[in-house]
Structure 1
Amino acid sequence: MDHRIHALHPTILPNQQNNKKKNVETSFKEILGQQQPIQISKHAEQRMASRNIEITIDKWYEMESKLEEASKKGVRDSLVITDEAAFIVNAKNKTVITAMEKSEMKSKIFTNINGTILID
């Protein structure tokens, strides 16, 4: 006769394990605020200053929201066009790479982008 004590361990099915991970990830994202603010590279900051480009806080929030949406659709580098200016932005890390006044866009060719966002 076997006198050892056998403990019964509940079986966690793969689907149950994935659900636990999703709950943990969601909670972590909620703690971090879910949206990363837009960063401005030194180059873009200098260009904005030299060209007197000023964007309202509402436009920045709208840009953040659209970049989040674009990133989910696989956009890596985006041309963001507003009424005031145009920006090349890395959608994944939400960093403005460069900026130009809208009047400068007429003779420009934009390369290394795979998405465009228009903001009114």
Structure 2
Amino acid sequence: MVDSRAVKPLFIPQPVLPGQNTPAANRNAAGNVSAGTTSFVRVLEAQLNQPQPVKISAHAARRMAERNIVLAGDHLAGVATAMDRAAAKGARSSLLIMGDVALVASIVNRTVVTAVPREELKEHIFTNIDSAVFVD
């Protein structure tokens, strides 16, 4: 004879279903999540609509240091605006012309790839760009 106190009940885990972790207070009578809660889609859209910062690649940082090119706050804001304008037109890689400096930038990645001062522009040919933007 088996002692029923010695046998442990078998635990079978149940699958997790979408919306199951939502507190009961946020559910309507049908058990659906109410519209008042923040959905994943809304959070994703909010993140995508935030302005993305301009990045400087390691190569561009090296070139800028060698050539004494400094991009300060106002300059970076102008570069960001130029990238936004280029992106709105469908550009992927642009030559950004800003005063005495030309910047090659990946619009998709919002990254400055290289920088060339005016004195060296005559010796350079820019390839693999699909647009040029004058930075204000």
* TM-score of the alignment, normalized to the shorter chain, above 0.5: yes
Shift of the 32–114 alpha-carbon distance from structure 1 to 2, 3 Å rule, reads: closer
Instruction: Give unpaired runs (5+ residues) of structure 2.
Output: 1-29, 31-38
* Residue of structure 1 aligned with 2:95, choices 52, 76, 79: 79
What does residue range 25-104 of structure 1 map to in structure 2 within 5 Å? 25=42, 28-31=44-47, 34-104=50-120
Bigger share in helix? 1
Instruction: State the distance in 2 between where 1:52 and 1:82 align.
Output: 15
Displacement over 2 Å in runs of 4+: 27-33
Q: TM-score, normalised by structure 2?
A: 0.64
Deviation of the 1:29 alpha carbon: 4.4
Instruction: Give unpaired runs (5+ residues) of structure 1.
Output: 1-8, 10-20
Identity, in percent, stands at: 38
The residue type paired with residue 133 of structure 2 is: I
Query: In terms of Rg, which structure is larger?
Result: 2
In the comparison of the two structures, how many residue pairs are matched? 99
Instruction: State the distance in 2 between where 1:38 and 1:32 align.
Output: 15
CA contact (8 A) 1:55 1:84 kept: no
Q: Does 1:113 align with 2:129?
A: yes
CA contact (8 A) 1:67 1:91 kept: yes
Deviation of the 1:33 alpha carbon: 6.3
Greater Cα offset, 85-94 or 55-64: 55-64
CA contact (8 A) 2:105 2:111 kept: yes
Provide the aligned C-alpha RMSD in A.
Answer: 2.3
